[in-house]
Structure 1
Amino acid sequence: MAGKNKWGSNIAFVLAMIGSAVGLGNIWRYPYVLYSNGGGAFYIPYIVAILVLAIPLLILEYGVGYNYQSSFTKAIVKLKPKLEFYGWILPVVVFIMTVYYSTIIGWDGIYLFLSFFKGWGSDPNTFLNVNLLQSTNSLGGIFNFIPYVALSMIVGWFIIWFVSHKNLDEGLGKVCRIFVPALFVIMAIIVIFSLTLPGAYIGLGELFEPDWSLLWHFDIWMAAFGQIFFSLSLGMGAGFTYASYTNDDIDIITSGLYVIIANCAFENFAALGVFSILGYMSLQSGTPVSQIVSQGTTLIFVAYPEVFNILGGIAFVLGPMFFFSVYVAGITSMLSSFEVFSISIQNKFALSRRRATTILCLVGCIASMVYATSAGGYILVITDMFVNNIVIIFSVFVECILFAWIFGAERLVGFLNARSKSLKLGRWWLLLVKYVIPVLLIVIWVGGIYEIIALGTVEHAIVLAILSAILLCLAAAFTIMSAKSDDWFKTGERIK
């Protein structure tokens, strides 16, 4: 039998990583990014981003995670004990992300229920913002609690607990083996049907019409690197953690390539469906696609319900399938981010998997209730920017320096090449992970800081200050607390 923190097979690891990468960002974020950044021309910086950032960094994360067979934090302690504080920064910030991610899953759970009878009514936009979320664009709405949103979020947390508290392969491994392939099948059905809709060609024409002039703009390159970073969850610790659970015979390089190919294929396939539907909406309403296209919650919870209202009877099948696929994508991504903090807690404080996940799910569920208020959506946007634009990118920069320079990326080359059935590493890889990627990360980080500064409101500053205080205080607390495990400073290494 597989150990409590071991995959039953290497395919379970690959499916878990695909489940971690394939999420809401592929469905609602990527189509908009592709459309608004040059259409077909966007594929040039997109492919460059895959080759220069995604492949080298993913292999580095997997390789070091495989070597240490431990949580990210424990590996940092082994590598550089004085940097334990940094070692807690990443797990804590990823847990903050997990908390707000549960909000989107909660909203989608409500829409999954409503989709069986089109319960959003004839005006999906008003239903979402006024009836359901009672949204406010200020912190004042934090005192207006919305019980049905909270209940749906609690259901999501129960699912996370139910899966995570079991032994790794019996819980998370089994879920990924079943639901990740199911997600691809469901999305394939939705996309194929969307391509048959009248007017689909209008949306696809808008999507792929290349604007080559944008290739000379800095923004399109930033968008491409940011999308790859976001959609593959690079540097969020999931790849490191999942790789630490792998069997000794794992082919790290090929597994990483499978994950990247599956993720990129999924988001591009999803884009076909999204813009086919937008083309259909354009034909039916006489409104140009450029005035319909949107991203985020507007696309999922407004544009799609509007389409389902037009489609008629088939929408009672297609609607539930769509919102179920979004739910599965959200759950698998949330499970991976939850695992990063959970295993760190287990490692340092000698907690059983069941006890650690139970405690963290209770804490996370209680913390997430701030998003079950009228100010929830407002706070979520700021938190998302704080996590992705500030902390994660800078943390990955530090991680890249630690892994490529202090650990020594050279140690991985011979070992990984000996097991690889595909790509072979060489000087090109060392050049990228040691020099090129750190520089790129700083450029992306500066761009993210600029975007936040551009918002410039007092309330944004208050929320960012609170989030920073929570992050730093928790990281400091976990650093100061004494380890309860005798093995905390005894991390083994597979690669000698």
Structure 2
Amino acid sequence: MTTSPPDQQERRGAFSSRRVFILAAIGSAVGLGNIWRFPYVAYENGGGAFVVPYLVALLTAGIPFLFLDYALGHRHRGSAPLSFARQSRATEALGWWQVGICFMIAIYYAAVIAYAVRYTFFSVGQSWGDDPEGYFFEEFLRVEGSGITTEVVVGVLVPLLIVWAAVLLIMGLGVQNGIGASSVVFIPLLVVAFAVLVVRSLFLPGAAAGLDQLFTPDWGALTNASVWAAAFGQIFFSLSIGFGIMITYASYVGRRTDMTGSGFVVGFANSGFELLAGIGVFAALGFMAQANGVAVDEVVADGIGLAFVAFPAIISEAPGGALIGVLFFGSLVIAGLTSLVSVLEVVVSAVRDKLELSRLTAVAVVGGPAALVSLVLFSTTSGLSVLDIVDYFINRFGILLVAVVSMVVLAWFVRALPGLAGHLNRHGSIRLGRVWMALVAVVAPLALAFVLARDFLDTLDKPYGGYPGWMLGVFGWGAAGLVLVLGLVLARLPWHRSVDLTPAGSTSHAANDEEEAR
């Protein structure tokens, strides 16, 4: 098999062990969405019954696609664009499309982490007072309706600068000393902190009512196609698959690593954390409902509303609220940082491969502009509106769309699945064959295409969030379209002359791969 030259692979960096890789992959997968999105999605889609479509989606789409990402990166030893180019030159644009998506996510994701940094300290003195909603929107962010403003919010600017400094420092230290070492520290810390939060929430008055609301199954929901669509969508949002992260991380792993066994560990660890988050969040919401004498469904929220409005209200009323607040917002910071590092690494790795740059130079070339755009757009009074729009459109019409296109192209046009399965089977504890290929080629793309079509029609029918059409056009459809165009343009640029674009595997080797995959 043709591989990257040893000196090139040494230059790119590598994780020191399978354990470090798994922790880094879990750090990428476990992010803000696990904590504030999964509980709400489960509640809205059948409660306890949602576990059925969720597990089906995990096993038939999430983990199979995770294996696809692993196979591309591990076999071709490159960033997303380089791995696609080595698989087939015609597919390089898919890798750059993923790079563009990661750049977009990085610039707004950092802002949410900055909010969480401030709220970790706000929790100690409960700075939001008696009106958490008013404090967040009016005093902290100073939101002033729709439109774009240039008024800087110093309370966001300073922590945002700190977040970018921390992330760029971690990335500058390298794959093992930066990304790997931080994951070894942060992931166990995150699990401990969130476990303590969950235990504390379970002992709050009314916690049982919240858990009943979450886990009481509505079996009739299983006949609703939208519930199954929600499960498949959640898996892709949550596992960090389909937009280059796992391709990049897999390229830093030793040749003899059991990638399929690692994938199962990562997939179920991520889902386990989501379940833990659901228990902690709904136990706390049950307390809030009882304290205010209302039903649980009247206090349920997700996203920004859950983190920065509902939880501060809980903290103000709960015994030991300061501890709950520090644990909750501290967990958001840690989960966010590990995910942001992985997102930005996709861009850094691609630029390094394309131009043969040193790590520090690539971090500066990528991180400098990313931090600047992030500070300009999201440290102003209009930052939250822009963040909300970009997040909605990039997640749905960026990540899901490139995932569907990637699966279809690799399965049906490049015919890459037999060779990729054969590669993972060499050292994998879980063998891949025709079932895996059918899931990646048929089941997962059809399920995600349904989710994508539903979201597209809903967005056309009712403009998202009530924002002005020009804002949706620029920061929504414009952002989603821009990453696609950039992917096509960047794929046309030449690689540095020292980069080996030879596909992994000769004709005879490819035949052996197909035989092993059967």
> TM-score, with normalisation over the residues of structure 2?
0.91
Q: Residue in 2 aligned with 1:113?
A: 121
Q: Pick from 66, 85, 96: which aligns with 2:93?
A: 85
Question: In the TM superposition, what whole-angstrom CA distance separates every residue of 1:336-360 from its partner, at most 9, and x where no partner exists?
Answer: 1111111000001111111111221
2:421 equivalent to 1:409: no
Q: 1:475 aligns with which of 475, 487, 491?
A: 487
Q: What residue is the counterpart of 1:52 in the other structure?
A: 60
Deviation sequence 1:141-196 (CA, Å, 0-9, x none): x3332122122111111111000011210000000011111101111111011111
Cα distance in 2 between the residues matched to 1:468 and 1:179: 32
- 2:481 & 2:260 partners in 1: Cα distance? 38
Residue 31 of structure 1 corresponds to: 39
The answer to whether 1:484 aligns with 2:496 is yes
Q: 1:32 corresponds to which letter in structure 2?
A: Y
In the superposition, relative to structure 1, how do residues 194 and 480 fare at CA in structure 2: closer, same or farther (>3 Å)? same
Task: Give 1:268 deviation, angstroms.
Answer: 0.4
443, 452, 463: which is aligned to 2:475? 463
In structure 1, the residue matched to 2:515 is none
Partner Cα separation in structure 2 for residue 375 and residue 156 of structure 1:
20
8 Å CA contact 1:90–1:237 kept in 2: the answer is: yes
Residue 354 of structure 1 aligns with which residue?
Answer: 360
Q: Distance in 1 between matches of 2:423 and 2:495?
A: 32
Q: CA deviation at 1:425?
A: 2.1
Query: Which sits farther off after the overlay, 298-307 or 168-177?
Result: 298-307
**Is residue 7–residue 168 contact of structure 1 (8 Å, CA) maintained in 2?**
yes
2:48 to 35, 40, 43: 40
Instruction: Confirm or deny: 8 A CA contact 1:26 1:231 kept in the other structure.
Output: yes
Matches within 5 A, 1:300-311: 300-311=307-318
Distance 1:235 1:127, change over 3 A: same
Q: Find the aligned partners of 2:349 and 2:306 in 1 and give their Cα distance.
A: 35
Shift of 1:45: 0.9
Greater shift in the superposed pair: 154-163 or 438-447 = 438-447
CA-to-aligned-CA distance 1:68-90 (integer Å, 9 cap, x gap) = 00011012222332443333111
The structural deviation recorded for 1:401 is: 2.6
CA distance in 2, matches of 1:455, 1:218: 20
Distance 1:341 1:222, change over 3 A: same
Q: Secondary structure at the match of 1:144?
A: coil
Letter in 2 for 1:247: G
State how far apart, in whole Å, the 2-side matches of 1:91 and 1:461 are. 21
Shift of 1:492: 5.1
2:357 partner SS: coil
Partner residue, 1:129: 137
Q: Is the 8 A contact 1:93 1:471 kept in 2?
A: yes
Helix, strand or coil at the partner of 2:124: coil
After alignment, is 405-414 or 223-232 more displaced?
405-414
CA distance in 2, matches of 1:247, 1:96: 30
Identity of aligned residues (%): 33
Matched, 1:214 2:208: no
In the TM superposition, residue 217 of structure 1 has moved relative to its aligned partner by: 1.3
Mapping for residues 223-238 of structure 1, pairs under 5 Å: 223-238=230-245
Residue 440 in 1 paired to residue 447 in 2?
yes
Q: RMSD of the TM alignment (CA)?
A: 2.0
Moved over 6 A (4+): none
Query: Shift of residue 60 of structure 1?
Result: 1.4
Deviations 1:33-83 (A, max 9, x none): 111111111111111101110121111111121000001101222233244
Letter in 2 for 1:475: G
Q: How many residues align?
A: 493
Q: 1:458 to 1:185 in 2, by over 3 A?
A: same
Contact 1:136 1:378 in 2 (8 A): no
Q: Does 1:340 align with 2:346?
A: yes
Task: Determine if the alignment matches structure 1 residue 99 to structure 2 residue 107.
Answer: yes
Any gaps of 5 or more consecutive residues in structure 1? none
- Match of 1:241? 248
Contact preservation (8 Å) 2:229, 2:448 = no
Amino acid at match of 2:499: D
* TM-score normalised by the chain length of structure 1: 0.95
Deviation track 1:237-273 (CA, whole Å, cap 9, x = no partner) reads 1111100110112101110000011000001011111
Output the CA distance in 2 between the equivalents of 1:466 and 1:388.
13
Whether the 8 Å contact between 1:55 and 1:257 is mirrored in structure 2 is yes
- Alpha-carbon separation, structure 2, partners of 1:83 and 1:108: 38
Q: Distance in 1 between matches of 2:422 and 2:489?
A: 39
* C-alpha distance in 2 between matches for 1:417 and 1:87: 24
